[in-house]
Structure 1
């Protein structure tokens, strides 16, 4: 898979499966692609990743055939521009709660005439030398993914759906559970009902929907509900549980 075409794959209706990465390691970023996943989300919001380490992790993920998606720390011009300049196939932007949030995300992530992303073609995304069509290619190929993570985002969903340039609406079940006063209870009927409502409304509006799943069964549930972009598990948790399984199996002998 060419990670540069990841946005086109999404907009063409393809279902993609990946994971979240908090481990600050290029080798760990390579593993999802080696395993056959479509993407890995390099999580700067909740992990210790820096711009410097994320650049190497983007290269490792791409080399293995997985699109590197960077979840930035916040909806700021500097954060979004930096993630895209180092070669991310897409950027995930947390806490999109209003129409203004959605418009700002697009403004920061797209070059003129779609936005006002700061321009240097001498960056990794531009192959270090740039090209005459660099800005057009970036606008066409970089995915912009906005997180709907709470009741306020749901309340303003109709307006958010009308903003051009947000390619994927990503439903954050954990923040969603916290916003309605039941933190961590992501399988509670109230959380699932809220997420289903957003999924249905976004799909009806022609938007790609994404979400996080703790395990394959949860992923299958949301894929069946119309989610197209699903991140299954977090690398540290997956690795820890694998070690626990080994310990349990050895102790059982």
Structure 2
């Protein structure tokens, strides 16, 4: 198994940039690596992708030296196990609301003695049995566990959530936070911003890494200045949409 360079960068305090991937074409992931992204989040929550497609996207990421993470649809042991068995660098788990949720996530993501992840070496992560039994400790060490706190209940329980060991990144979801405040989509509203800053302080004071989503570079820079290390800078389909809009607008306005 390869050393998880994304995890090393985070441990060194570096800011890392990635994006969410909804498209099935592996070439898009390779492009992300060639342009300098550090990671790609293969989206099995909101995206239409199948685990078999996700496995090939992980291969594409490995080809260009970026870390493939898989966002699962829910905090479920089978979903998490499959996301890791396909050889991803880590898993992102949405809607963590309590300490018990966070502990369950870790149990599903880690092999014994850290957790109870189902064990099979006949997987891409297990090198199809080529690596031998000692690989479980290495996989426990190298895999990233990213949990999403994206609702009021999670925020209220954040002091307990941050105490759970073996969680690498706590990802704040601004859109779901805005919805939980009754102002869906208004992610720049002062109420959302204030809540985000409170969470950042709590997470960093606990020695954990903070992540979030940013629609554009300006917003990303603001969150980096606030202490966020792990930035998901857009979604592949949204980036393509804006690029196409710009091309069409450039021609139409000249006509």
TM-score over 0.5 (shorter chain): yes
Residue 184 of structure 2 is matched in structure 1 by 183
Distance 1:209 1:187 in 2: 18
CA contact (8 A) 2:169 2:211 kept: yes
Residue 25 of structure 1 is matched in structure 2 by 25
Distance 2:127 2:14 in 1: 27
Query: How much has 1:10 moved relative to structure 2?
Result: 1.6
Q: Deviations over 1:12-66 (max 9, x none)?
A: 3221111111112212222211111000111100001111000000100111121
Task: Write the mapping of 1:61-210 to structure 2, written as runs, cut at 5 A.
Answer: 61-129=61-129, 130-210=131-211
CA contact (8 A) 2:26 2:57 kept: yes
Structure 1 residues 86-95 or 57-66, which shifts more? 57-66
CA contact (8 A) 2:13 2:229 kept: yes
Distance 1:38 1:106 in 2: 23
Query: How much has 1:159 moved relative to structure 2?
Result: 0.7
Distance 1:132 1:121 in 2: 8
Query: How much has 1:114 moved relative to structure 2?
Result: 0.4
Flag as ranges the 4+ runs of structure 1 deviating above 4 A. none
| Change in 2 beyond 3 A, CA 1:3/1:42 | farther
Under a length normalisation based on structure 1, what TM-score does the superposition of the two structures give?
A: 0.97
Distance 1:46 1:176 in 2: 16
CA contact (8 A) 2:3 2:142 kept: no
Query: How much has 1:6 moved relative to structure 2?
Result: 2.2
Residue 54 of structure 1 is matched in structure 2 by 54
CA contact (8 A) 1:39 1:67 kept: yes
CA contact (8 A) 2:111 2:118 kept: yes
What are the ranges of 5 or more consecutive residues in structure 1 without an aligned counterpart?
A: none
Under a length normalisation based on structure 2, what TM-score does the superposition of the two structures give?
A: 0.96
What are the ranges of 5 or more consecutive residues in structure 2 without an aligned counterpart?
A: none
Count of aligned positions: 252
Query: How much has 1:128 moved relative to structure 2?
Result: 1.5
